[in-house]
Chain A
C-alpha cells in the first residue's frame, strides 16, 4: 500500500498526521525496490506507529512502475484449519491452483502471522510477518477462535480489512452463512472443499487484484503522481474507498452463490447470498 499525501502542510510535522490530506492509495508489490523514500519515510513510520494502516514506503517514480504485479505473482493464501487432514487437502488444492500457501492451525496463529496478535507487539512499520496475504480461507468451527471471530478481527483491522476472507464449514447452516457474509466474508464454502470451489475463488481474487491495480495504475498515470503539485480536483478518488481491493460486502457477486449450496442437503436455499440481499435479517 502506498500513500500519497497531498497538500501544502509541512509534512515534517509528524505530530499531527491527521493534517495530511490523503489522496490516494495504490498497490505495490511488497518486494519492489524503492526509488525514493526520504519524504514519506518518516511520515509513514509515524502513521504506522499511530496504529494506522500498515504502510509500505512510497516513491516518486510511481509512474514508472509496473503496477500489475499480480500478473507475474502468485496469489498468497493464508489457510486456517485446526484439522491436519483438512489443512493438507486445502494446501494441495491451493497449490494446484497456483497459489502460494501458508497454512496455520488456529485463528490465533493466523493473527500472529498477519501481525495482528495484540499480545505480540510489532515494532516494525511493516506489520506483516511474512509475505503479503492476498486471501484468507478459514474453517468456521475451530477451538479457541472460530473462523467467524477471525473474520471479525480481520475486518476490524484497518491494515487487513481489504483482504478477502472465505469461510469453510462442514455445516450448511443458513444463519451461519448469513452472519459471515454480513460480517464481510467474501464467500462461504461447504466442506468438503472441491477443486472447483478453490479455482473459482482464486480466479475471483486474481481478477479483483488485477482490476484494482489497473484502476490505480490508470488513475496514477492520469494524475501524473510524480508531480504532486499538479493536483486537479480528484473528486472521484476522495469519494471512493481507500483500498482498491474492496469487494464491498454489501454486494456479493452472484458467482459466489453456488458455493454455499450443499449438494445433498434438502433444506438449503439455492442462493443464500441472494437471499441476504433481498431480505431483511430475521
Chain B
C-alpha cells in the first residue's frame, strides 16, 4: 500500500504545480520525452536547470551590487535564465525574469533590484517545490 500512497502523493504534487501555474505545458512535453532508455530524463534536466540558474542568479545579484551596474551583463544573464526557464516550463520564474528584463530595459535600476528580489523569491520557492517532487 505504501507505493500506492507514494504514487498518489506524486500525482497530487504534480497536479498542484499545474494548478498553481508553477509549471506549464513545456513540463508535460519533457515528461513525454522520457522513456525506458532514459527514465530520469526530466529529473536530469531539472538538476541541470537548478545548477545553472542558481549560478546565474548569484551572478546577477553580485552584478547588481557593483558600482556602476553593468546592465548589459545583467540583461545577458537574464536572457539565459529566460531561455532555460522556458525550456523546462518554469512558468512563474519565467514571468519574473521577463518582468525584470522589461524594467531593466527602461533603465530603471531601482526597479530592477526590486524585480530581482521577486525573481529570487519565486525561484527559491520553485526549487523548494520541485526538488522534493523528484526525490519522492
A195 touches B84 (CB 8 A): no
Q: How far is the CA of A89 from the CA of B83 in the complex (A)?
A: 12
B48 touches A88 (CB 8 A): yes
Instruction: Please give, as numbers and ranges, the residues of chain A lying within 8 Å of B83 by CB-CB distance.
Output: 83, 85-86, 141, 170, 191
A143 touches B76 (CB 8 A): yes
A92-B87 contact given A85-B45, A85-B48, A85-B49, CB 8 Å threshold: no
B41 touches A85 (CB 8 A): no
Interface size on A, residues (CB 8 A): 17
A89 touches B86 (CB 8 A): no
A192 touches B86 (CB 8 A): yes
Instruction: Please give, as numbers and ranges, the residues of chain A lying within 8 Å of B52 by CB-CB distance.
Output: 83-85
Q: Is the interface of B mostly helix, strand, loop or mixed?
A: helix
* B26: nearest chain-A partner, CB-CB: A192
Output the least CB separation between B120 and chain A (Å): 19
Instruction: Please give, as numbers and ranges, the residues of chain A lying within 8 Å of B30 by CB-CB distance.
Output: 89
A86 touches B87 (CB 8 A): yes
B29 touches A86 (CB 8 A): no
B44 located at the interface, meaning its Cβ lies under 8 Å from any Cβ of chain A in the complex: yes
B-side residues, CB < 8 A to A, are 26, 29-30, 32-33, 35, 38, 41, 44-45, 48-49, 51-52, 76, 79-80, 82-84, 86-88
Can you spell out 12 A-B residue pairs with CB atoms less than 8 angstroms apart?
Answer: A83-B83, A83-B84, A84-B84, A85-B48, A92-B33, A93-B33, A96-B33, A96-B35, A170-B86, A191-B86, A192-B26, A192-B29
